[in-house]
Amino acid sequence: MNPFIVIGRITKPHGIRGEVCVDFYADSPSILEDAVWLELPPAQPKPYGVIYARHHHNRLLLTLESVPDRNAAELLRNATVLVPRERLPALEPGEVYLADLPGFTVVLQETGETIGRISSIDTASGQEIWQITTPEGKNILFPAVPEFVAELDVDAKVARVTPPPGLLEIYL
């Protein structure tokens, strides 16, 4: 299990004093209390102390240690923002973090037929999209909205879905 959880992505610098704009995926900014880790492939995640976090026009702005100006902030564009898993709040029974969904088996609610396995999750569009890989190796992009996800069995690692008419036929 990955020791880090993705909580956002730096989109761009903000101003001239080193602030960065973050697309923030978590519910609570309280997990940003001390530090975050930033990952810019191919480098390993690197810790940055959080000096200040504030909301501005539906985005989170961060002021980080070792990022004194816009030039330094520009180098962090598109960095993935991570926090250690142990810093996150405990989950309620039946809940799961998005980072733990890859590997879940996806089955049709009505028939129990296996569609495939979740291979990745994308939230860049503002909507949760599962990439499901079929046993034949085909990829399905599935909008994971409440209308289409009937049940998540966290213990069995199974997602039961009710896709809209025609969605699976597009891919299969």
Does the structure show a pLDDT above 70 at 168? yes
| Residues 61, 34: Cα–Cα separation, whole Å | 15
So what's the pLDDT on residue 63? 96
Helices of type H across 41-99: 70-74
Judge contact between 162 and 168, C-beta under 8 A. Answer: no
Residues 48-83 have pLDDT tens digits of 999 999 988 878 999 999 999 999 999 999 999 999
pLDDT per residue over 134-167, tens digit each?
999 999 999 999 999 999 999 999 999 999 999 9
Task: Render pLDDT for 82-103 as a digit per residue (tens, 0 to 9).
Answer: 999 888 888 888 788 888 899 9
Tokens of 11: 């989109």
In tens, the pLDDT along 100-128 reads 899 999 999 999 999 999 999 987 777 89
Listed in order, strand segments (DSSP E) in the chain are 4-14, 19-24, 35-39, 46-56, 59-64, 80-84, 105-108, 114-122, 129-133, 139-143, 149-153, 158-161
* The pLDDT of residue 29 is above 80: no
| Cα separation, 46 vs 54, whole angstroms | 22
pLDDT of residue 1: 64
Give the bridge partners for 81, in sequence order: 8, 38
